[in-house]
A and B are shown apart, each in its own frame.
Chain A
Amino acid sequence: MWKKAILRPAAVLLLFAVPLLIKSNYLLSILIVIGLYTIIVQGLGILMGYAGQVSFGHAAFFGLGGYTVAILTTRFHWPTVLALPAAALLPGVIAAIIGRPTLKLRELYLALATLGFGILVHIAFTEGKELTGGPSGITGIPYLSIGGLTFDSDIKFFYLVWITLFLILAGINNLVRSRVGRALRAISESEHAAENAGIDTAKLKLQAFIFSALLAGLAGGLYAFYVTFISPSPFGFHASVQFVLMAVIGGLGTFWGPLLGAAVVVTLGEFLRWAVPLVIPGAGGEYQIIFFGLILVLLMIFRPEGLGALGKCLKLSPEKMPGTGIPSKDI
């Protein structure tokens, strides 16, 4: 108990001291990107690890959030502080529309529906020239300002993103230990038994899906305010797959999983971008992807339950570690 009581706040304090210790803008920007992706993967983790559903369209929700901010602030001159909640709300509403019919069906219908949706939205970003600026996107997004505070530097943005992330983490921590969190886990274990316990499984899955879309949209809005420029390229199918990978690598249904998964995938991507050309001179992006895949395969072979499950080796009882996601058959 004392370990947890000291270690966690210490780790958080250390993290928040990072911008003061590191003077590298590159590292800071990587940490901001990790933070933004973590927010997306946190929602996806609830959907996948608890409600047992997969979405291959979360890059689209991420993009919708980004474009909502870009369009509302540059075309309609909304105050930035209002554009941000709109960026979360719009994907949430769209998720409700897609999810309602598909989540009544079981199995992989949501995965298919979101796959199609993701591709459609990406095409809309590229082709909707009047509104989205086409392939070149939208520039000149203002900085986010809340009250008198304008987030115009990497350091400020780092704090904004990571404080948001920890607030969401606290919320999810409450959720998974609650009646609703147990019900979600029950759905992923036995939908029959869950229904017979009085759980409206279709409704809860829909709520988890909407929640995950809201978080992806929020991350997209923050992203737009951070880079102040938006184009379709970061929101393609590739990105959706990457989010799913982050969730799986981090460990489904684990507390630190989303953060670990996002950190590992982003760091690995950056590392490979640097390392691959050293090994194979003149190697392009396609080689990085091969190495990326290889490392992921190895990880899945040796740590199939994900990195977040390492916490179990530290003797956390099942009471304290709710939601392993994967039923522990070995005990």
Chain B
Amino acid sequence: MLLEVKGLTKFFGGVAAVKDVGFKVSKGSIFALIGPNGAGKTTIFNLITGALPPDSGTIRFEGRQLVGLKPYQIAAAGITRTFQNLQLFSGMTVLENVLTGAYLKGRTGFVKSLFCLPSKNREDKRIKEEALALLEEIGLEEAAGLPAAALPFGQQRLLEIARALASGPRLVLLDEPAAGLNSTETRSLAAYLKKLREKGLTMLLIEHDMETVMEVADRVLVLNFGHVIAEGTPQEVQADPEVIKAYLGEDDQVA
């Protein structure tokens, strides 16, 4: 198992945002977290990436306990993420965003950066080539020199994924990557996620668009009010009476 979450609990005030949540994600799979708004999906992402400390529970990644590590240490351990509300570096160019995502691939420190050293230039060149290759893969190579804020929304979502991939992580957490995309963009996103999985990347996916979830996910975890109400393959979950109740009882969340 690449990722093992056990007994994960987080309270906000008196409210349990996440209560005793556990799941396992195997390498090279797409694992989806679904559930109505406020079910605790993004909180789980924040707990895994270290943005929030859990009240109890363990998170093991490649056998290593992540609880207590800082976000940058968790990134260095091989986990990166995208954000539901985009957090691009909007004052930077498209290429610079990906280069910053590749921060972990470099070694040059503050003092060395002040000088023009051959080792630094070689490193810069290598990282830039890799970043450009990544931009080409997602079809943004033409936009490399544009300010990130100048991109249309759909491409900004893609750029955030590229930034998350740039450091060569082994697990990527995608927080509603299809939100705000049109149907063509959503389909090409789904195809891209499947392609990444073929290359061996493992992904955790929060997504409201059920069509996408059913298409790409290997396993689905359904949450409601911070509790796990079902887990299984997309087909199993779809047929689960608890899940149907949670969704239909709520509103028309199922797209």
Which A positions have Cβ atoms within 8 angstroms of B? 171-172, 174-175, 178-183, 185-186, 189-190, 192-201, 204, 207-208, 211, 317-319, 322-329, 331
Compute how far the CA of A185 lies from the CA of B99 in the bound complex, rounded to whole angstroms.
Answer: 12
Q: Find B145's partner among A186, A195, A196, A319 (CB 8 Å cutoff).
A: A319
Compute how far the CA of A190 lies from the CA of B89 in the bound complex, rounded to whole angstroms.
Answer: 7
A183 to chain B: which residues have CB within 8 Å?
100, 103
Instruction: Tell me if B75 is interfacial: C-beta within 8 Å of chain A.
Output: yes
Compute how far the CA of A303 lies from the CA of B75 in the bound complex, rounded to whole angstroms.
Answer: 39
Q: Find A328's partner among B70, B101, B116, B147 (CB 8 Å cutoff).
A: B147
* A186 CB, nearest partner CB in chain B, Å: 5
* B110 CB, nearest partner CB in chain A, Å: 4
Contact B147 A179 (CB under 8 A): no
B91 to chain A: which residues have CB within 8 Å?
185, 189, 323-328
Contact A198 B83 (CB under 8 A): no
Q: Looking across the interface, which residue of chain A has its beta carbon closest to that of B77?
A: A198
Give the 8 A-B CB pairs with smallest separation, nearest first: A198-B75, A195-B71, A178-B113, A171-B114, A327-B91, A198-B104, A193-B87, A179-B106
Compute how far the CA of A200 lies from the CA of B69 in the bound complex, rounded to whole angstroms.
Answer: 12
B186 to chain A: which residues have CB within 8 Å?
none
Instruction: Tell me if B108 is interfacial: C-beta within 8 Å of chain A.
Output: yes
A318 to chain B: which residues have CB within 8 Å?
92-93, 145-147
* B82 CB, nearest partner CB in chain A, Å: 9
Q: Is the interface of A mostly helix, strand, loop or mixed?
A: helix
B153 to chain A: which residues have CB within 8 Å?
none
Compute how far the CA of A326 lies from the CA of B50 in the bound complex, rounded to whole angstroms.
Answer: 28
Which B positions have Cβ atoms within 8 angstroms of A? 49-51, 70-72, 75-76, 80-81, 83, 87-93, 95-96, 99-101, 103-104, 106, 108-110, 113-116, 120, 123-124, 127, 145-147, 149-150, 163-164, 166-167
Contact A172 B92 (CB under 8 A): no
Compute how far the CA of A117 lies from the CA of B19 in the bound complex, rounded to whole angstroms.
Answer: 45
A327 to chain B: which residues have CB within 8 Å?
90-91, 149
In this complex, the member of A182, A201, A208 whose beta carbon has the largest number of chain B beta carbons within 10 angstroms is A182
Contact A178 B124 (CB under 8 A): yes
In this complex, the member of B88, B91, B103 whose beta carbon has the largest number of chain A beta carbons within 10 angstroms is B91
Q: Looking across the interface, which residue of chain B has its beta carbon closest to that of A188?
A: B91
Contact B80 A196 (CB under 8 A): yes
Given known A329-B149, A331-B150, contact A204–B110 (CB-CB < 8 A): yes
Contact A193 B115 (CB under 8 A): no
A and B contact pairs by CB, cutoff 8 A, 12 listed = A171-B114, A179-B106, A189-B92, A194-B100, A196-B51, A196-B81, A196-B164, A198-B75, A319-B145, A326-B91, A327-B91, A331-B147
Contact B163 A197 (CB under 8 A): yes
B101 to chain A: which residues have CB within 8 Å?
197
Contact A186 B72 (CB under 8 A): no
Instruction: Knowing that A319-B145, A331-B149 touch, tell me 14 more A-B residue pairs with CB under 8 angstroms.
Output: A178-B108, A179-B103, A179-B123, A183-B100, A185-B91, A193-B89, A195-B71, A196-B75, A196-B164, A197-B167, A200-B72, A324-B91, A327-B149, A328-B149
Compute how far the CA of A185 lies from the CA of B92 in the bound complex, rounded to whole angstroms.
Answer: 8
Q: Find A319's partner among B51, B93, B114, B123 (CB 8 Å cutoff).
A: B93
Compute how far the CA of A200 lies from the CA of B104 in the bound complex, rounded to whole angstroms.
Answer: 10
* A67 CB, nearest partner CB in chain B, Å: 26
Given known A196-B81, A197-B167, contact A174–B75 (CB-CB < 8 A): no
* A302 CB, nearest partner CB in chain B, Å: 22
Q: Looking across the interface, which residue of chain A has its beta carbon closest to that of B145?
A: A319
Compute how far the CA of A199 lies from the CA of B106 in the bound complex, rounded to whole angstroms.
Answer: 11
Compute how far the CA of A317 lies from the CA of B167 in the bound complex, rounded to whole angstroms.
Answer: 26
Given known A178-B120, A318-B145, A329-B149, contact A193–B88 (CB-CB < 8 A): yes
Q: Find A197's partner among B70, B103, B109, B110 (CB 8 Å cutoff).
A: B103
* B174 CB, nearest partner CB in chain A, Å: 12
A323 to chain B: which residues have CB within 8 Å?
91
In this complex, the member of A174, A200, A318, A327 whose beta carbon has the largest number of chain B beta carbons within 10 angstroms is A318
* A257 CB, nearest partner CB in chain B, Å: 15
Contact B90 A189 (CB under 8 A): yes
* B71 CB, nearest partner CB in chain A, Å: 4
Compute how far the CA of A326 lies from the CA of B91 in the bound complex, rounded to whole angstroms.
Answer: 7
